[in-house]
Amino acid sequence: MKHIREEFNSIILRNTQEEDLDFVVNCEQETENAQYVGQWTKEQHRKVLLQEDILHLIVEEKDTNKAAGYIILAGLTKSSKSIEFMRIAINDKGKGFGRESLKGVKKIAFEELNAHRLWLDVKYKNHRAQNLYKSEGFIEEGVLRECILCNGSYESLVIMSLLKHEYTNTLTL
């Protein structure tokens, strides 16, 4: 996995280590997160730590050095440079860690991983996350209607993306 350690105002984004995996699995399974992010076992997370195509990051609170959440990016080795912002979950919500993490992800994707496109899918009903992505410049591309089955109900996914030149333009505003 590519080495990353980036400091921002209140958080640090750094590579996930073996000793972080219990935190990651617990964070993912926390009720408010579980309804919006995929669920992996500790072994599945451990496996991707070794993959060149994936970047698995811990969001660490700068003041306390405690883990506040985690992030997964995928598609790093794709020739299209279309990188997927696959997962984010923040345990300590509403304190700005999510927004700062997203700003950090944009910086890492476009400035360190040379992404051309950063994209994601988000559940149609996940208004908090959609508001955040929109306010950080992501454009809605469309809706995959009722494409996943969750606890017996079909749910829709919104596809959103940010292109390199759009990211660069927001820096000069």
Ligand X SMILES: CC(C)(COP(=O)(O)OP(=O)(O)OC[C@H]1O[C@@H](n2cnc3c(N)ncnc32)[C@H](O)[C@@H]1OP(=O)(O)O)[C@@H](O)C(=O)NCCC(=O)NCCS
Binding site residues, ligand X, CB under 6 A: 32-33, 36-37, 88-90, 93-99, 120, 122, 126-129, 131-132, 135
Closer CB to ligand X, residue 97 or residue 110? Answer: 97
In the complex, least distance from residue 24 CB atom to ligand X, rounded to whole angstroms: 13
Can you spell out the DSSP letters for the chain?
----EEE-SSEEEEE--GGGHHHHHHHHHSHHHHTTS----HHHHHHHHT-TTEEEEEEEETTT--EEEEEEEE-TT-TT-EEEEEEEEESSTTSSHHHHHHHHHHHIIIIIS--SEEEEEEETT-HHHHHHHHHTT-EEEEEEEEEEEETTEEEEEEEEEEEHHHHHHHHT-
Nearer to ligand X by Cβ, of 4 and 37: the residue is 37
Give me the least distance between CB of 145 and ligand X, in Å please.
17
Residue 122 CB, nearest approach to ligand X (Å): 4
User: Based on the number of CB atoms within 10 Å of its own CB, is 44 exposed (0-12), middle (13-18) or buried (19 or more)?
Assistant: exposed
Q: Considering the complex, state which of residue 21 and residue 122 has its C-beta at the smaller distance from ligand X.
A: 122
We find the least distance from the C-beta atom of residue 79 to ligand X, in angstroms, to be: 25
Q: Which residue is nearest to ligand X (CB)?
A: 98
If the CB atoms of residues 88 and 113 are measured against ligand X, the closer one turns out to be 88
Q: Which is nearer to ligand X, 4 or 88 (CB)?
A: 88
Residues in Cβ contact with 51 at an 8 Å cutoff, skipping those fewer than 6 apart: 1
